[in-house]
Amino acid sequence: QKEVEQDPGPLSVPEGAIVSLNCTYSNSAFQYFMWYRQYSRKGPELLMYTYSSGNKEDGRFTAQVDKSSKYISLFIRDSQPSDSATYLCAMSEVTSGSRLTFGEGTQLTVNP
Amino acid sequence: KAGVTQTPRYLIKTRGQQVTLSCSPISGHRSVSWYQQTPGQGLQFLFEYFSETQRNKGNFPGRFSGRQFSNSRSEMNVSTLELGDSALYLCASSLRGLADTQYFGPGTRLTVL
């Protein structure tokens, strides 16, 4: 079983929809949680970074971490065609340095 | 400030050959990490270098190795290439590693025939 599980999709939504992406994990030592966006033929780009449990909002993006359920989410409001990409969740332990453990990624398409 | 650069962007090799990939981190960043991305396994951590020392290592065979130079530039080497080594190899840099934000390069697409 993988340490981080993420539904690979694909997920297709109309422009303006609210998108919900999520990951579950099994390693209770994970303390840092990230969401990356990856466009085709590009490297991952950091979207959101949270430490431990709680919510964080940045523009149209909201990240939620529920450590008691080992569950993290990314919400995208008013989705745009330019949001079409693969979204990757990533996590790390305090003691693991910069070693990130990634989910498989969810492929999102926002249709105009 | 320039981002993380990786060279070459594309490589085609045959089984049994070896390959060297290069990564130039963002200026001032001292930590460089390498990841392998494949459709089946996703992004997997290879190793991290900080101040020319390997600080962390993933679960890859010894055919995968790396090094870091005094200017923080890093190289990774794969010897005796196998078909399964075909992947996108990504490099990420951060100031000190640990919990610092990691910035990824565009990757090197390696195809092994």
User: Residue A1: is its pLDDT beyond 90?
Assistant: no
DSSP states of A47-98 = EEEEESSEEEEETTEEEEEETTTTEEEEEESS--GGG-EEEEEEEEEGGGTT
Q: Which of A33, A98, A100, A106 to mutate to test the interface with B (most CBs of B within 10 A)?
A: A98
| pLDDT tens per residue across span B19-37 | 999 999 999 999 999 999 9
For tokens 């190795």, name the residue.
B65
| pLDDT tens per residue across span A46-57 | 999 998 888 999
**Average pLDDT of the segment spanning A21-46:** 94
Cα separations (Å) of A53 from A33, A34, A64, B19? Answer: 9, 12, 7, 42
User: Residue B48 is nearest to which of A43, A44, A97, comparing CB atoms?
Assistant: A97
CB < 8 Å to A25, chain B: none
CA distance B37 to chain A (A): 10
